[in-house]
C-alpha cells in the first residue's frame, strides 16, 4: 500500500480565492456596490400611494450508484466553489462571438446526434432584437395581499407620458421578488427597462422583510413560491392590466420565479429565471452531504442577507436553522424544486453560469428537469447579473447578454407581438470554456444530454496516471483532515499531454472503491486543466460524504476496513481541453475553512480497472481548427506521395467512420502550423481508419499543399 506523495506545486498553482473577493463579487451581484443610490435608507412601509416619474434608463444592448436527488437519494455531488485550491479561470471570450468554423457532431450512445455549431440565423436574430423605449415610468408604493391576508410591500411601475399613466390595459411583469430591499435601485432600473417599453412592473419583498407583513420563513421556503403566484394574479386583476403576466429574477429572484411557475397561477404566460438554485441543501450548504463551514469561504450568504435585508434576516438564526438539518429531511425537501418540474407548464428562458460560484449546477438541474420547455443560455459567468438591463455599470458579469434577449422573450410570450424572433423550439446556447483564444465561443447545441453522450473513460493508475488502457491494481492512501499540499493529504492523477483537443460536455463521473479507517470521510474531487507550464485551471468539482453514498436522507456509516464502491458526479461543464494540455483530478477531504472536516481517517483507494473517470463528449476529436478555420471548404481526393508524412489522430464517432485532424509534414516542405495553439491544418474523413480517401481543407490553407500530390 502506497501513501500519497507530497503535492508538487507547479510554477503557478491554484490558490484559494480570498473571502474578501468572494464577498465583493456577491455584493456586486446584490447591488450593494451600485452606483445608483447615494445613500442607504430603510424601505417604505405602508400604502403611501406615492408617485414619481423617472426618465427611461439606458438601453442594454450535479457496487453504489445513486440516482439524481429526490427524497432519500444523494443526487449529484455539487457545491458552491473549489473548496480548497480554488482555481484560476480561463477567459471565455466575448458574448455573441462565435468561431464560424462549421459544425461539430458528437454521436450519442443512443444513436442520435448532438451538433455543435455557431448560432443559427434564428438565434442571431433573437440576440439582436431590440425596440426603443417610448414611455417614462410612474412609480407608486402598494401593499399586495396574499391568499392568507399577509400584505407584501411592493413598488408598482407603470408606463407614463407627461407624468400620467398611459390609458388602456397592458401586460405586466413581476420583477425580482426577493428579500433584498437594499437592491431597490437596481430592481427599479430592471423594471424600468420593460416599463418604458409598455409593460406594467411589480417589485416586491418577501414576508418579514422590507416592510412586508408576516414572518421570514428562512431561505427558499415554498411559501415564497405561493406568494409569488399571488403577486402574478394580483397584477393580472388590476384594471390597467390585460391579464397577461410574465416573471423574472436573478439568484433568489430566480428561485421565486420558478416557485411561482410550479404553483401554476392561471395568468402566468412565461418566466425567465436567472442563475437560480434547485436545492439549497445540495447546491450550497451540504454539497454531497458535506456541510460547508458557516461563515467560511463558501457559506456566507446569511451574512450578506442580513446586510441586504437591513437586519430583518438574522445570520445567526439562518446558520442555526441550517445546522439543525444535516440530512435531506422535509425542511429541505419542502424548499427544493426537485420533484416539481412536472408542474412547470409555461415556457422558461433559463440563464446559467458555468463558473457561477453558487448555483451553476443548481440552475442546470432546473434546466434538466424541464428540457422540453426550456430555452437556455449558459455562459462562462460568475454569480453576477448575466443580462444587461441598464444595471451593468459595475454589477453585471463580464460580457453580459443584451437585454433584448429578455425583451424578445416577453414580447413573444406575454405581449404577443408578431414576428418577434424567438426560436420556435427550445434551444441550448452555451459559451465554451477553456484556454483564451482556443475556444469556439458561443455554440448552439441541438440538445443537452448530460448522460448517455459518447464518452471516454480513464483508469486511475497506481503511478498517478489517467489512461484509457488497463492498469495494474494497487492501493493508494491519503489522510484527512489535511490540506492538499501536505504529504499524504491528497491523491492526484493526470493524463499524458493530449494529442488533440477534447471537449467536455456534461457531468464527468468518478467511480472507485475505497477503504476507510473510520466510519466516515469526505471525498472532494477537483477536475483540472493543466497547461504545458504546469498551471492548473479549475474546470469543476464534485463532493460526496462517504456515509451519504446511498442517501442524503438516511446516511449509512461505512464499515471500517471494508472496500466500498462510490459513485461521484463532478458538476457539469462545456469546456475545451486543448492539445498539449493534461487532464488532472485531485481527491482529498477539502479545505478546513470551506468544508467541515471528519474525525481523522485514512482513506485507501483501489486503482486499476475498478477506478475510472468518465468524461462525456471527450471521445470526440474536434472537426476543424477553432477560431481561424476557413468557412470556404473543399473536398478533394488525396493520394499520399512519398514526400508526405501523414500524422492522423482518429476518433471513432460512428461504427464505420472516423474523423481525424491532421498535421501535414514533408521533408522538402516543412509546414509551420497556422493555428498557434495546435498544429491541425485540415481534417480527413476515414471510412476505414487505415485508408485515407478525402481531404477537407480551407481555402486559406490551399497554399500549404504545394509540393504534395493532391
pLDDT per residue as tens digits for the range 642-665? 233 333 322 222 222 333 333 333
State the cell numbers at 88: 484560476
pLDDT of residue 181: 95
Which residues, at least 6 apart from 272, have a Cβ–Cβ distance to it below 8 Å? Answer: 246, 247, 248, 257, 348, 349, 350, 351, 406, 409, 410
The residue behind cell 472503491 is: 513
What is the arithmetic mean of pLDDT over 575-593? 94
State the cell numbers at 7: 503535492
What domains, with CATH codes, occur in the chain? 2-11+65-88+453-616 (2.60.120.260), 44-60+120-445 (3.40.50.1820), 633-705 (no CATH)
User: Three-state DSSP class for 342?
Assistant: helix
Give 203's pLDDT tier (boundaries 50, 70, 90): very high
Give 357's pLDDT tier (boundaries 50, 70, 90): confident
Bridge-based pairing state of the strands 241-250 and 268-274: parallel
The percent of residues in the chain predicted with pLDDT above 70, rounded, is: 69
DSSP letter assigned to residue 626: S
What is the arithmetic mean of pLDDT over 346-368? 92
What is the arithmetic mean of pLDDT over 347-363? 92
Give 306's pLDDT tier (boundaries 50, 70, 90): very high
State the cell numbers at 598: 471528519
Per-residue pLDDT of 464-487, as tens digits, reads: 999 988 778 899 999 999 999 899
pLDDT of residue 648: 33
Q: Which residue, 210, 384, 220, 391, is CA-closest to 302?
A: 220
Which of 7-11, 63-67, 412-416, 669-673 has maximum average pLDDT? 412-416
pLDDT of residue 392: 72
pLDDT of residue 117: 61
Measured from the Cβ of residue 113, the count of other Cβ atoms closer than 10 Å reads: 14
pLDDT(605) > 60: yes
As a whole number of angstroms, the distance between CA 588 and CA 7 comes to 11
Per-residue pLDDT of 32-90, as tens digits, reads: 333 333 332 333 433 333 444 443 333 333 233 323 333 333 233 332 233 332 333 33
Phi and psi (nearest 5°) for 560? -65, 130
pLDDT(139) > 60: yes
pLDDT of residue 620: 55
CA distances from 42 to 202, 334, 395, 413, 426 (A): 19, 31, 21, 36, 42
As a whole number of angstroms, the distance between CA 286 and CA 552 comes to 9
When the pLDDT of each residue in the chain is averaged and rounded to a whole number, the result is: 76
What is the arithmetic mean of pLDDT over 173-196? 94
Tell me which H or E stretch contains 428: strand 428-431
CA distances from 525 to 4, 260, 469, 594, 595 (A): 15, 35, 22, 14, 13
Give 2's pLDDT tier (boundaries 50, 70, 90): low
Amino acid at each position: 500500500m502506497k501513501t500519497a506523495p507530497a503535492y508538487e506545486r507547479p510554477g503557478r498553482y491554484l490558490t484559494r480565492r480570498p473571502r474578501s473577493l468572494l464577498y465583493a463579487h456577491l455584493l456586486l451581484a446584490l447591488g450593494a456596490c451600485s452606483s445608483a443610490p447615494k445613500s442607504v435608507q430603510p424601505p417604505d412601509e405602508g400604502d403611501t400611494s406615492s408617485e414619481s416619474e423617472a426618465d427611461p434608463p439606458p438601453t442594454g444592448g450535479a457496487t453504489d450508484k445513486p440516482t439524481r436527488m429526490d427524497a432519500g437519494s444523494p443526487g449529484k455531488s455539487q457545491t458552491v466553489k473549489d473548496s480548497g485550491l480554488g482555481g484560476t479561470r480561463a477567459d471565455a471570450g466575448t458574448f455573441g462571438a462565435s468561431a464560424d468554423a462549421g459544425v461539430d457532431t458528437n454521436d450519442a450512445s443512443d444513436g442520435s446526434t448532438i451538433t455543435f455549431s455557431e448560432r443559427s440565423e434564428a438565434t442571431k436574430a433573437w440576440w439582436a432584437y431590440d425596440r426603443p423605449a417610448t414611455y417614462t415610468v410612474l412609480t407608486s408604493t402598494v401593499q399586495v395581499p396574499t391568499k392568507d391576508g399577509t400584505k407584501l410591500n411592493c413598488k408598482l411601475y407603470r408606463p407614463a407620458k407627461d407624468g400620467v399613466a398611459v390609458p388602456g390595459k397592458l401586460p405586466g411583469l413581476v420583477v425580482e421578488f426577493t428579500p433584498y430591499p437594499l437592491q431597490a435601485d437596481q430592481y427599479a432600473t430592471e423594471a424600468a427597462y420593460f416599463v418604458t417599453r409598455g409593460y406594467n412592473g411589480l417589485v416586491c419583498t418577501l414576508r418579514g422583510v422590507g416592510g412586508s407583513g408576516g414572518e421570514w420563513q428562512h431561505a427558499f421556503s415554498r411559501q415564497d413560491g405561493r406568494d409569488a403566484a399571488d403577486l402574478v394574479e394580483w397584477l393580472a386583476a388590476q384594471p390597467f392590466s390585460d391579464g397577461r403576466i410574465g416573471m423574472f429574477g436573478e439568484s433568489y429572484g430566480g428561485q421565486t420565479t420558478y416557485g411561482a411557475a410550479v404553483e401554476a397561477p392561471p395568468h402566468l404566460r412565461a418566466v425567465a429565471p436567472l442563475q437560480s438554485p434547485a436545492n439549497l441543501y445540495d447546491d450550497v450548504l451540504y454539497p454531497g452531504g458535506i456541510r460547508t463551514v458557516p461563515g467560511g469561504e463558501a457559506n456566507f450568504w446569511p451574512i450578506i442577507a442580513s446586510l441586504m435585508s437591513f437586519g430583518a434576516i438574522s445570520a445567526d438564526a439562518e446558520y442555526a436553522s441550517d445546522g439543525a438539518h444535516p440530512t435531506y429531511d422535509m425542511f429541505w425537501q419542502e424548499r427544493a424544486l426537485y420533484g416539481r418540474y412536472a408542474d412547470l407548464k409555461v415556457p422558461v428562458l433559463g440563464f446559467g453560469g458555468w463558473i457561477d460560484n453558487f448555483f451553476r449546477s443548481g440552475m442546470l438541474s432546473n434546466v434538466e428537469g424541464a428540457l422540453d420547455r426550456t430555452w437556455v443560455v449558459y455562459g462562462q459567468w460568475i454569480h453576477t447579473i448575466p443580462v444587461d438591463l441598464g444595471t451593468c455599470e459595475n454589477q453585471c458579469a463580464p460580457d453580459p447578454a443584451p437585454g433584448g434577449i429578455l425583451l424578445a422573450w416577453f414580447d413573444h410570450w406575454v405581449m404577443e407581438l408578431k414576428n418577434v424572433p424567438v426560436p420556435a423550439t427550445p434551444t441550448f446556447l452555451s459559451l465554451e470554456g477553456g484556454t483564451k483564444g482556443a475556444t469556439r465561443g458561443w455554440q448552439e447545441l441541438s440538445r443537452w444530454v448530460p448522460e448517455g453522450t459518447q464518452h471516454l473513460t480513464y483508469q486511475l493508475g497506481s503511478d498517478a496516471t489517467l489512461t484509457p488502457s488497463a492498469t495494474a491494481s494497487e492501493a493508494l492512501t491519503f489522510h484527512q483532515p489535511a490540506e492538499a499540499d501536505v504529504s499524504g493529504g491528497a491523491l492526484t492523477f493526470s493524463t499524458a499531454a493530449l494529442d488533440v483537443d477534447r471537449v467536455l460536455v456534461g457531468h464527468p463521473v468518478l467511480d472507485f472503491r475505497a477503504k476507510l479507517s473510520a466510519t466516515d470521510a469526505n471525498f472532494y474531487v477537483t477536475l483540472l486543466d493543466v497547461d504545458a507550464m504546469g498551471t492548473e485551471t479549475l474546470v469543476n468539482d464534485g463532493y460526496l460524504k462517504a456515509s451519504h453514498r446511498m442517501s442524503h436522507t438516511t446516511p449509512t456509516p461505512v464499515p471500517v476496513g471494508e472496500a466500498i464502491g462510490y459513485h461521484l458526479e463532478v458538476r457539469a461543464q462545456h469546456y475545451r481541453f486543448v492539445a498539449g494540455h493534461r487532464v488532472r483530478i485531485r481527491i482529498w477531504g477539502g479545505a478546513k475553512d470551506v468544508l467541515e472536516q471528519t474525525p481523522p481517517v485514512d482513506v485507501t483507494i483501489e486503482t486499476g480497472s475498478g477506478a475510472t473517470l468518465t468524461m462525456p463528449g471527450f471521445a470526440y476529436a474536434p472537426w476543424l481548427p477553432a477560431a481561424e478555420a476557413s468557412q470556404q471548404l473543399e473536398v478533394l481526393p488525396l493520394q499520399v506521395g512519398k514526400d508526405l508524412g501523414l500524422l492522423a489522430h482518429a476518433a471513432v464517432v460512428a461504427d464505420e467512420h472516423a474523423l481525424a485532424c491532421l498535421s501535414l509534414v514533408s521533408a522538402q516542405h516543412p509546414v509551420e502550423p497556422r493555428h498557434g495553439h495546435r498544429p491541425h491544418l485540415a481534417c480527413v474523413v476515414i471510412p476505414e481508419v487505415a485508408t485515407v480517401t478525402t481531404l477537407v481543407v480551407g481555402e486559406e490553407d490551399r497554399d500549404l499543399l504545394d509540393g504534395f500530390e493532391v
